[in-house]
Amino acid sequence: MCLAIPMKILKIEGDRAVVSSGGVQRSIGINFLKSPKIGDYVIVHAGFAIEKLDTVKAEETLKILEELQ
Amino acid sequence: MKYIDEFRNLKIAEKLYRLINEEAEGLRRVNFMEVCGTHTMAVERFGIRRMLPENVRLISGPGCPVCVTPKNYIDKAIALTAIDDVVVFSFGDMLKVPGTNSSLLKQNPKGKVRVVYSALDAVEFAEKNRDKKIIFLGIGFETTVPTVAASIKYAKKKKLKNFFVYSGHKVMPPAMRLLAGDKEVNIKGFLCPAHVSAIIGTMPYSIISKKYNIPCVISGFEPLDILQSILMLVRQVKLNIAKVENQYNRVVKASGNIKALSLIDEVFSTHDSEWRGIGVIKKSGLVLSRRYSDFDAEKNIDFPKVETKMDKGCICGSVLKGIKTPPECGLFSKKCTPENPYGACMVSSEGACAAYYRYGAGRK
């Protein structure tokens, strides 16, 4: 039940945003996000973004995985 | 999909399996617990459990919210549907869970039970149907709780008098502490939940790693996340250290989500709560705070009386604590299947029994 997927913010209106992933668009609540911006990736669960996804850290993790020996 | 597919790379997965095998060589047998039901599902789906070396055993924990919801809660939720002007709203997972005589799915004569994706959908329905009492079944851990809290706050803002939450919400750390201290389960490492941690941060696990000397790694839900986290746990065990590491730092901050946490604090307060098959765990449940008591179903709705009978033969409790695996249950895959479930662990797609069954582990 804690499944949540990364989606990209396309539009922001007050405490709601339109997000998209794999061709699917959805309107969600962004009440819990600190200064959300268009283009941010957010983790979406039960109609709300529960947190931002830090794309720099994601790339770092992928690099670590690549280089891990 | 972006930030999902990259974490499913087969070549890197193979390398991680090799590294786990190399690091685990000569290690005494260890039990690692994946606490969260979403991890259980991913672990089975990607065949991770069966690929690990023999001395690294991954056991499933109690982190499937539907599975740990007491049978009495289900019976009471079903009984609510008998009240004339009540419409019950629920997340889909709850519908098939068997109560004593029925389930919400079977007990749905005139559209009295409706499935929603978000609690906010139930609030919106309440807004448009003021002659009905809308009761939302609040099930879920810290990931879900803020979304329900925000919905309750929205109902308050709209001054709704016909929206109520029957809270069965639970929090994870007290259950983890209970299991950490349980010698029978004998956990040597926790694979900590991804999105619960996005809300609560890393601090609650520090107590577990320090007090019980158990390594904790917060792990994402993709296969590379899980494999890297297992490798991190193995390395901690090998070095004989127990600390909190955050593999899923692309989402989880040390502080957690402060805005979501303060919203939970505002709308809910903790109480002692029963976990199906495990018993009452101190301060592990959430009820609506005094400030929001007008939205508390238990305080505002006259619940019909119910009689709950306990399960016979179902070992859900031991499965939820990681003491037994689903195939060790006499009912598993014989009398108990996803089509005809006995216990909650077979109902929820995230239940250990359902995950084992679906992906063929231990099926007869």
Identify the pLDDT of residue B212: 97
In terms of domains, do B209 and B329 share one? Answer: no
Identify the pLDDT of residue B321: 84
Cβ partners under 8 Å of residue B31, min gap 6: B57, B59, B185, B186, B187, B188, B189, B322
How distant is the Cα of A49 from the closest Cα of chain B, in angstroms? Answer: 9
One pLDDT digit (tens) per residue for chain B, 364 residues: 889 999 999 999 999 999 999 999 999 999 999 999 999 999 999 999 989 999 999 999 998 999 899 999 999 999 999 999 999 999 998 988 888 988 998 877 678 999 999 999 999 999 999 999 999 999 999 999 999 999 999 999 999 999 999 999 999 999 999 999 998 889 999 999 999 999 999 999 999 999 999 999 999 999 999 999 999 999 999 999 999 999 999 999 999 999 999 999 999 999 999 998 888 999 999 999 999 999 999 999 999 999 998 877 888 888 888 888 999 999 999 888 988 888 878 888 788 999 899 887 655 4
Beta carbons of A5 and B63 less than 8 Å apart: no
In terms of domains, do B96 and B149 share one? Answer: yes
User: Distance between the two ends of chain B, CA-based, in angstroms?
Assistant: 36
In terms of domains, do B274 and B162 share one? Answer: yes
Beta carbons of A45 and B147 less than 8 Å apart: yes
Give the residue on B whose Cα is nearest the Cα of A3: B38
Identify the pLDDT of residue B364: 44
| Residue B310 within a domain | no
In terms of domains, do B324 and B201 share one? Answer: no
In terms of domains, do B48 and B162 share one? Answer: no
Interface predicted TM-score (ipTM) of this complex, two decimals? 0.96
Identify the pLDDT of residue B358: 87
The range of the structural domain enclosing residue B166 comes to 71-170+260-300
How distant is the Cα of B45 from the closest Cα of chain A, in angstroms? Answer: 14
In terms of domains, do B186 and B235 share one? Answer: yes
The CATH number given to whatever domain includes residue B276 is 3.40.50.11740
Report d(CA B62, CA B40) in Å as an integer: 10
In terms of domains, do B50 and B188 share one? Answer: yes
Which of A1, A33, A44, A69 is best to mutate for the B interface (most B CBs within 10 A)? A1
- At the second CATH level, the architecture of A5-67 is Roll (2.30)
- How many structural domains is chain B composed of? 3
| Residue B275 within a domain | yes
In terms of domains, do B176 and B219 share one? Answer: yes
In terms of domains, do B76 and B143 share one? Answer: yes
Report d(CA B96, CA B346) in Å as an integer: 10
In this model, does residue A19 exceed pLDDT 60?
yes
Give the residue on A whose Cα is nearest the Cα of B22: A69
Facing A48 at nearest CB: one of B93, B147, B249 = B147
Beta carbons of A29 and B195 less than 8 Å apart: no
What residue ranges do the domains of chain A occupy? 5-67
